[in-house]
C-alpha cells in the first residue's frame, strides 16, 4: 500500500510540475520536478522507495530510448547526419576518455576505471531542458535539430560506453583491443537483433490483423511491450539491449507517418499514449532525483566522505565546466558554419559553439545510469566510491540544468509571440476560406445539401481558429480595419432602429450595443471614458425599467439570436453592394466571416439537424473527402511558397487526418 501511495504522490507531482510551468514558464519542467521531489521528502508520511539498480535500465531507459528514436525526424537526421553523428558518437567517446583522466587526476580517490564510468554516465545529453528553453527563445532551427538528433543517438552511444566502463570495473579486467572487438559484436549484434525482432513483431501484428483483431487496445499493448521485450531478449542473448531498442525505434519511425484506414487510428492513439508515458517516466526520474537531494546534502554536511563539502562542490563545478568546455571546443573545431547557420542568419561561430556548449544539460539517462551501478563487484567488494559518483553526477545534472535554463537564454533572442505566427495563422485562415470558395463552386442539385453541411463545418473551423488566435495583429490591413469600424456602425444603427421600433427589448439591445462598443474600441484603439460612464448609466436605467424581465434569460437569449441574424442579414446586404461597386478584398473577407456567422446561427437554431436527416451520409463523406483534398493541396502550395513552415504544414495535415478519422467513426 505504501508503494502505491508513493506512486500516486509522484504522479501528482508530475501533474503539478506542468501546472507550475504554465504559470512560471521561465523555469523549465525538469527544474520544477527536482524541486517538487525535494519537497516530497518533507511530507510527514515517510514516503520513500529503493529501486533495484538493474530495474532502472529496463524500466526507464528501454521505453525512453525506444520512443525517442521512434519519433525522430528522419529528414532532419539525414540532412544533418554529419554534425549529429559527430556530436553524438565521436564527441561522446572523446569526452569519456578525456573526462575520465581528468576526473581521476582531480579526484584520486576515484579509480580510473570508475572515473570512466562517471563520465560515460554523463555522456548522454537531455533535450527536455533545451526544448523547454526553446519555447521561450528563438533557438536557431538547425542548431535545435542537431541538438535533438544528438540527444537521440548519444543516448545509445553514451549508455553503451557506460556499460563497457562498468563491466571493466565490475570484472576488474579491460583490454582495449578486446573491447573494440566486443563492442562491434555486441553493438552490431544489438542493432541487427533489434531490426530482426521488429520484423518478427510486424509479422505477428499482421497475423493478429488477419484474425480480424483490429482492436486498438490490443495493438497499443503490443507496442508498449515491444521495447521491454526487445531489451530483455537482447540482453539475454549477450548483445546491447539499448542499441537493439534504438534500432527498433528507428525501424518503427518509418511506419509512423503512413496513415491508412488500418493504422491511422492506432497511430494517433499511440502518439498520445507514448507522449504521456515518456513525460511521466522523465518526470519520475527527475522527481526521484529531487527526493535524493536532502539525503545527499545531509550526508555531505555530516562529513561522510574524506573530501570536504567545499571540495565536493568544487569538483561538481569543475566536472560541469570540463564538459561544457569540451563541447564548446569540439563544436567550434569540427562543425562548419553552413551546417548550423540559416540562410538569413549571420550567427557568429563562437556564439554558435557557446550555444552548443551550454545546451549539454544532463538528465534522465544520466541519473538512470548511475542509479544502475551495482553495490558489489564480482569479487564481493564494494563498488569503489559509488556514493560519491552518484553525488557528483547528481550535482552535474543540477548545475547543467540551471545553466541551460537560466544562462543559455541570455545568448538567444526571446520569442515575441508563442505558438503559430500571425502570418501562418492568416495563411491557415486563407486555406480554409479557399476550400469554402472551391466547394461552393462545385455545388449542384445533387450535392447541394451535403456541400452546405461541409461548408458549415469549415465555417466552424474558421471561427474556432479566429477565436483561439484572437489578437489585434490579425487585422493589420488599414482598409480592413476601417471597414470593420464602418460595419460596426452599420450594426449599431440597425440595432438602435430595431429598438426604437420595439422589435427588440432594451436589455438585449444594450447587451449587443455594449459588445459593439468594445469591438469598436479594439479596432480603433481609442477608449472614451465619458462614453463608458454614459453606457453604464444607460444600462442601470434599463435594468430598473425592465427588472421583471431580468430573470427571463431564455427570452433575452432568443432576442439576441434574432438581433444577430437581423444584423447579419443587413450587414451582408451592405457588403455585397460594396463588393459589386468594385474590387474590394476587405469586403470579400468580411462577407466570408458574416456568412460563416449566419451559418453558425442557423446551426444553433436547429436547421442543421433537420438537414442532416435529409442528407445522404455517403454524399457528405464524398464532399468532405473533396474538401480535405483541396485543403491538402492548399497546404502544399502555402508551404512551397514559404508562407507556412514545415512544422505548421505537418500540424495541419495531422488535423486533416484526425478529422477524416472522426468522419469515418461517425459513419
* pLDDT tens-digit map of 262-315: 555 666 677 778 888 888 888 888 888 888 778 777 766 676 666 777 888 899
Nearest 10 degrees: Cα torsion 552, 556, 557, 561? 160
Nearest 10 degrees: Cα torsion 640, 645, 648, 654? 50
Is residue 151 exposed (0-12), middle (13-18) or buried (19+ Cβ within 10 Å)? buried
Q: What is the mean pLDDT of residues 611-633?
A: 75
Confidence label for 330 from pLDDT (cuts 50, 70 and 90): very high
- Report the SS3 class of residue 469: coil
Strand partners, 414: 137
Backbone angles phi, psi at 615, to 5 degrees: -100, 135
Q: Report the distance separating Cα 360 and Cα 91, nearest Å.
A: 12
Identify the H or E element spanning 121.
Answer: helix 112-121
Backbone angles phi, psi at 344, to 5 degrees: -100, 10
**Mean per-residue pLDDT of the chain:** 78
**Angle subtended by helix axes 364-371 and 112-121, to nearest 10:** 140
The DSSP letter of residue 383 is P
What percent of the chain is predicted at pLDDT more than 70? Answer: 78
pLDDT at 472: 44
Contact 214, 123 (CB under 8 A): no
Radius of gyration, alpha carbons of the chain: 31
Largest interatomic CA distance in the chain:
100
Q: And the C-alpha cell for 320? A: 560541469
Nearest 10 degrees: Cα torsion 575, 579, 583, 586? 20
Cα distances from 518 to residues 52, 512, 515, 589, in angstroms, run: 62, 10, 5, 21
Q: How many CB atoms lie within 10 A of CB 379?
A: 8
Confidence label for 615 from pLDDT (cuts 50, 70 and 90): low
* pLDDT tens-digit map of 483-522: 888 888 888 888 888 888 878 877 777 777 877 777 777 6
* pLDDT tens-digit map of 11-59: 999 999 988 887 887 787 888 888 898 888 877 765 555 656 667 778 8
- Identify the residue whose cell numbers are 579486467: 173
Give the CA count within 13 Å in the CB-facing half-sphere of 94.
Answer: 16
Q: And the C-alpha cell for 423? A: 502570418
Backbone angles phi, psi at 263, to 5 degrees: -115, -5
pLDDT at 34: 86
Contact 637, 623 (CB under 8 A): no
**Pick from 347, 283, 317, 321: nearest CA to 126:** 283
- Per DSSP, the residues of 281-312 read HHHHHHHHHHHHHHHHHHHHHTT-SSS-HHHH
Amino acid at each position: 500500500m505504501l508503494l502505491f501511495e508513493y506512486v500516486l504522490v509522484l504522479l501528482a507531482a508530475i501533474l503539478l510540475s506542468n501546472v507550475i510551468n504554465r504559470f512560471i514558464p521561465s523555469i523549465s519542467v525538469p527544474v520544477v520536478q527536482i524541486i517538487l521531489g525535494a519537497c516530497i521528502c518533507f511530507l510527514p508520511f515517510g514516503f520513500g522507495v529503493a529501486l533495484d539498480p538493474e530495474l532502472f535500465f529496463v524500466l526507464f531507459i528501454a521505453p525512453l530510448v525506444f520512443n525517442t528514436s521512434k519519433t525522430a525526424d528522419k529528414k532532419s537526421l539525414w540532412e544533418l547526419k554529419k554534425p549529429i553523428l559527430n556530436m553524438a558518437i565521436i564527441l561522446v567517446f572523446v569526452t569519456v576518455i578525456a573526462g575520465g583522466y581528468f576526473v581521476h587526476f582531480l579526484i584520486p580517490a576515484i579509480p580510473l576505471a570508475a572515473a570512466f564510468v562517471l563520465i560515460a554516465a554523463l555522456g548522454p545529453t537531455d533535450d527536455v531542458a533545451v526544448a523547454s528553453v526553446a519555447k521561450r527563445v528563438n533557438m536557431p532551427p538547425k542548431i535545435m535539430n542537431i541538438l535533438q538528433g544528438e540527444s537521440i543517438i548519444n543516448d545509445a552511444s553514451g549508455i553503451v560506453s557506460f556499460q563497457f566502463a562498468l563491466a571493466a570495473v565490475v570484472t576488474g579486467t579491460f583490454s582495449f583491443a578486446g573491447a573494440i572487438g566486443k563492442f562491434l559484436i555486441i553493438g552490431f549484434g544489438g542493432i541487427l537483433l533489434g531490426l530482426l525482432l521488429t520484423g518478427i513483431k510486424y509479422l505477428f501484428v499482421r497475423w493478429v490483423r488477419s484474425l480480424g483483431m483490429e482492436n486498438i487496445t490490443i495493438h497499443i499493448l503490443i507496442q508498449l511491450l515491444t521495447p521491454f521485450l526487445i531489451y530483455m531478449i537482447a540482453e539475454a542473448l549477450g548483445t546491447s539491449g539499448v542499441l537493439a531498442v534504438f534500432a527498433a525505434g528507428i525501424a518503427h519511425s518509418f511506419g509512423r507517418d503512413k496513415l491508412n484506414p488500418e493504422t491511422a487510428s492506432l497511430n494517433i492513439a499511440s502518439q498520445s499514449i507514448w507522449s504521456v508515458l515518456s513525460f511521466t517516466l522523465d518526470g519520475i526520474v527527475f522527481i526521484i532525483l529531487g527526493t535524493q537531494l536532502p539525503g545527499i546534502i545531509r550526508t555531505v554536511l555530516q562529513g561522510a566522505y574524506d573530501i570536504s563539502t567545499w571540495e565536493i562542490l568544487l569538483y561538481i563545478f569543475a566536472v560541469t565546466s570540463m564538459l561544457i568546455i569540451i563541447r564548446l571546443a569540439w563544436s567550434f573545431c569540427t562543425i562548419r558554419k553552413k551546417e548550423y547557420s540559416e540562410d538569413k542568419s549571420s550567427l557568429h561561430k563562437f556564439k554558435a559553439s557557446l550555444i552548443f556548449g551550454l545546451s549539454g544539460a544532463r538528465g534522465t539517462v544520466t541519473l538512470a545510469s548511475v542509479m544502475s551501478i551495482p553495490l558489489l563487484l564480482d569479487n564481493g567488494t564494494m563498488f569503489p566510491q559509488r556514493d560519491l559518483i552518484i553525488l557528483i553526477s547528481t550535482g552535474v545534472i543540477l548545475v547543467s540544468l540551471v545553466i541551460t535554463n537560466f544562462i543559455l537564454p541570455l545568448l538567444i533572442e526571446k520569442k515575441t509571440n508563442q505558438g503559430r505566427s500571425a502570418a501562418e495563422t492568416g495563411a491557415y485562415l486563407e486555406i480554409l476560406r479557399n476550400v469554402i470558395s472551391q466547394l461552393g463552386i462545385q455545388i449542384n442539385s445533387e450535392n447541394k445539401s451535403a456541400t452546405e453541411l461541409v461548408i458549415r463545418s469549415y465555417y466552424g473551423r474558421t471561427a474556432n481558429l479566429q477565436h483561439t488566435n484572437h489578437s489585434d495583429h490579425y487585422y493589420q490591413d488599414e482598409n480592413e480595419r476601417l471597414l470593420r469600424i464602418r460595419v460596426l456602425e452599420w450594426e449599431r444603427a440597425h440595432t438602435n432602429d430595431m429598438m426604437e421600433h420595439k422589435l427588440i427589448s432594451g436589455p438585449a439591445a444594450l447587451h449587443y450595443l455594449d459588445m459593439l462598443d468594445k469591438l469598436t474600441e479594439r479596432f480603433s484603439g481609442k477608449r472614451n471614458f465619458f462614453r463608458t460612464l454614459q453606457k453604464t448609466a444607460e444600462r442601470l436605467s434599463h435594468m430598473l425599467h425592465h427588472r421583471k424581465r431580468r430573470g427571463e434569460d431564455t427570452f433575452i437569449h432568443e432576442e439576441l439570436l434574432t438581433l444577430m441574424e437581423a444584423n447579419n442579414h443587413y450587414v451582408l446586404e451592405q457588403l455585397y453592394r460594396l463588393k459589386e461597386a468594385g474590387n474590394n478584398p476587405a469586403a470579400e473577407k468580411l462577407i466570408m466571416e458574416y456568412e460563416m456567422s449566419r451559418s453558425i446561427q442557423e446551426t444553433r437554431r436547429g436547421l442543421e439537424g433537420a438537414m442532416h436527416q435529409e442528407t445522404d451520409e455517403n454524399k457528405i463523406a464524398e464532399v468532405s473527402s473533396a474538401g480535405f483534398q483541396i485543403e491538402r493541396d492548399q497546404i502544399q502550395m502555402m508551404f512551397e511558397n514559404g508562407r507556412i513552415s514545415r512544422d505548421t504544414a505537418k500540424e495541419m495535415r495531422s488535423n486533416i487526418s484526425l478529422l477524416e478519422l472522426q468522419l469515418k467513426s461517425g459513419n
